[in-house]
Each structure stands twice: as structure tokens, then as C-alpha cells.
Amino acid sequence: MSDTSVGIDAIEMHTGKLRLDLAETFAPKMGDDPAKYTKGLGLYASSFPDTYEDIVTMGANAAHRLMARKGLEPEDIGRIDVATESAFDQSKPVSTYIAGCLEQVFDGDFHHANKGERKFACVAGTQSIDDAYNWIRAGRNRGRAALVVATDTALYARDDPGEATQGAGAVAMLIDEDPDLVEISNAQGYGSADETDFLKPNQQFPSVDGKRSVQVYLARMREAVIDYESVAGKIQPDEFALLPFHTPFPGMVRKAAALAYRHMIRDTEVEESLADEIGRQPRPEAFDDDGAYLDAMGEYTDRLVETDAYADWYERVVDPTLDISRHVGNWYTGSVHVARMSGLRRALDEGIDLTGRQLGVASYGSGAQAEVHAETVQPGWEEEIAQLNVDEQLEARYDISFAEYELVHDVHNYDEETDVEEFTTPSEEFVFEGWGRMGERKYSYVD
């Protein structure tokens, strides 16, 4: 095992090119108060794929931009791992399609790159980074880097409560030695259990117990934090400059952040300094039954989130990670990586020097598993983040009406036969152009 520094060298995203305004367009048709979306869920808009986009085109477009920007050729890549929960084939991995797309625009090929597909709901993107990290640390990479692509079309059945949180997009990450963006720590914590909160038993749209999935997220995350602390020591309140969480919708992160802060300040000077204002945290030994203890904890948490200390911490450490998510919705496997990117972008905009600071990355996938690890921001981070074109991509999206949304949902529903014109004109990107004779999907690059 080598002790080389390994982490994320570069990152890029590609958003679905359509935008649905949740407050203005979706809420009125659903008979909802727009504030349910903007304030409750914390979402303003969802991204959707145009008719010629899917998980392959979005993933390949993000990877293409990343490779071109870093001056990479296929021979520099030793593995391509795709994380998705929107795959359309039970055997052939999406990574082979993405490699095929990239071979259309780069010289050479990926014949000597190991390709795979990772599935564990939204945590699979982080697991793919892990696989790449282990491969490099084991010294099996022969000087090559790994390309990790997290790509999803997070669509729910019409009228499912999850419809409010939909989204579509991809994140491509280059995992390499001596990374420019973040170094990944060896210490990890897991919280994992057999849960039935969200699943797709051979069906396109998920069966979801939404309220339960929120509870499972929090329970498994708590376990992962405790497991992480068992190897890395107790997390201190100001240890992490940013806490990127898996973000199915920002309201979920608001709940998780309150529990994280409460946990971090326990038995610290911060808890002590807040004692006059809101009391100390209840301790289980002071209660006869669990219910009374949990009620007291809930009341303490309600008081805690109203304090200036909490508001200041949340504004610095959590809120910056939600900037992109608010405007794109849930990208499943990509969402925690969008949160990291978002937090780093805000720091760059505000001139905050993060070099050497720690990020606490908190991933989650239904079914269910949470994973927590630390990352150290590297000296090259500002140059990397400055090259992203996130705002350009978000602003270039075509705003769809509700009637158009209904068509777009049908276009991407495997059970519907549709003939819908594209809403945007593709340029310098990969497009889906139909099916081949064995039911394979076919792609081309449009100049």
C-alpha cells in the first residue's frame, strides 16, 4: 500500500437543459402554496433532460469537458466508473456507452481501462470514488487516473410526492495522485442497514416511502458519524469549513445539519456557552424512558436552531453547499458532489481561503447506507473551481411550461410512445439519436 496523496483532481457538471420553475409553474398546477417548495423543501427549480439527452449524454458531456480542460487523452485514464440509479440496461454498463462517446472526440481509445457501474441508490457516486481511491492507493493504476461519473435522471411517477424534488444531471470527477482539488482521508464511517424507504424493483420510477426515507437518512447518518469518530476522534464544532451533505432537497439538509451541530457541540465550550440561553443538552441517563428523552432532545434542538451561534455556523458551513441544488433538484448519485462543488464555488466568490481546511462529506443512499469522510482542500482548488461554467449552464436552460413538462416526463418514460420535438438546439455535445438493431442506444457528437 502506497501512502501517496489521492483525491479529486478536477470536477465538472452537466445539467439537463430544461428548467421547470417549481414556485411559478409547478406549484399552482398541483394546488400547492409556492412556499412549500421555496421555503419548505428549499427548491426553486428542477432540471430535466431535453428529448436528445439522457444519463449517457449528460455523463459524457461532463467527462468530455473535464478531459478537454485537463488536456487528457484516453490513455491517461485507467478506469471509468459510472454511478447511477437510472440505468436502462441490466447487463451492459453505462460506462461503456460513455467511453464510446468519448472515443468519438478524442484520439485513441479506452480499451485498457477497467469499466464498471456502481449501484447503491444515491451513495454510489461516493462508493465509485472509493473504488478509484483504493485502486490508486494499492498501486495498481500504472500512473493513470480514474474517471468517475455520477449521472441520473431523477424522475418520479406523476403525482408521487417525490415529483417535487425531481432533477437530472451528471457530475464527472477525476480521481488521481497529488490532486489539485481535495485530498481524501483514509478514515471513513458507515451507517448501513436493510431498509425499505426507496426502491425500484425492476421498474423505472421509484416506490418511495418519503417520510420514512427522511427518518432513515437521519438514522443512518448518525450511525456513520459515530463510526467515523471511532477512527478519526470526536468531530469538533469548527473542524469542517464546509459540510456537503447528500441533498435530495435543501430542506433535508436543514434537518441533518441541526442534528450534526447538536452532536458536534455536545460536551464542548459551545454547549456550555449556550447553556444560559437554551439549557444543556438532555442526557439519556436523566430519563426513565426513551420517549421522554427524545422529546426533550427535540425541544432542545428547536431552541438550538434559533440561536445566533447556530445561524452563524449554518450560514458559513452548510448554506453555501446548497446554492446549486436549489436550482436543479435532486441528481441522486451526483447530488453530494454538487454540494461540494457548490460550497467551494461560494468560498471562491467570497474570497475565503480554504487551502488546508477540511470538508466533511456526508453521503447517503436509500436502502440504506450513509458514509462520512473528511477531505483536505488542496492549493490548486481556486484555479480548478474558477474554470467551472455552472452559471452559464444554469442560465442557458430552456424554461418549460407545465404542458411541456408533461410532454417531457412522457418522453423519458419508457412506457410511453412519444414524438416530441426538441426544445433546445444541441451544439458541441453528445446527443441520443435512437436505437440500434439489438435495442442498444446510439449516440453521436454534434459540432
Name the residue nearer to ligand COA (CB basis): 40 or 380: 40
Which residue in the set 2, 29, 33, 433 belongs to the binding site for ligand COA (CB under 6 A)? Answer: 33
- d(C-alpha 394, C-alpha 110), whole Å: 31
Specify the pairing of strand 240-242 against strand 358-365.
parallel
Shortest distance, position 101 Cβ to ligand COA, whole Å: 30
Binder of ligand COA out of 30, 157, 187, 214 (CB under 6 A):
214
Question: Which of 2, 35, 238, 349 touches ligand COA (CB under 6 A)?
Answer: 35
Tell me, yes or no, if 246 is annotated catalytic: yes
Largest CA distance in the chain: 72
CB-based burial label for 436 (10 Å; 0-12, 13-18, 19+): exposed
CB of 262 to ligand COA, least distance (A): 16
Cell numbers standing for residue 318? 452548510
For ligand COA, the binding residues in 252-311 under the rule CB under 6 A are: 252
Catalytic-labelled residue, pool 53, 85, 195, 384: 85
Choose among 211, 222, 238, 235: nearest CA to 357.
238
For ligand COA, the binding residue among 57, 141, 213, 358 (CB under 6 A) is 213
By C-beta, is 123 or 354 nearer to ligand COA?
A: 123
| Active-site residue, selected from the candidate residues 12, 101, 117, 122 | 122
64 carries an active-site annotation: no
CB within 8 Å of 170: residues ≥ 6 apart: 13, 14, 55, 58, 59, 61, 62, 149, 150, 151, 152, 331, 334
**Which cell numbers in the block locate residue 2?**
502506497
| Cross-sheet strand order for the sheet of 18-21 | 45-48, 18-21, 398-399
> Judged by CB under 6 A, which stretch of 44-52, 131-139, 206-214, 270-278 contacts ligand COA?
206-214
Least distance CB 311 / ligand COA (angstroms): 17
Residue with Cβ nearer ligand COA (171 or 232): 171
Interface with ligand COA, residue 234, by CB under 6 A: no
Between the two ends of the chain, the Cα-to-Cα distance in Å is 44
Compose the 314-353 pattern: x for residues touching ligand COA by CB under 6 A, - for all others: ----------------------------------------
**338 SS3 class:** helix
Q: At what angle do helices 210-232 and 250-265 cross, to 10 degrees?
A: 40
- Binding residues for ligand COA, per CB under 6 A? 33, 35-36, 39-41, 161-162, 164-165, 208, 210-211, 213-214, 217, 248, 251-252, 366
Write out the catalytic residue numbers: 85, 122, 246
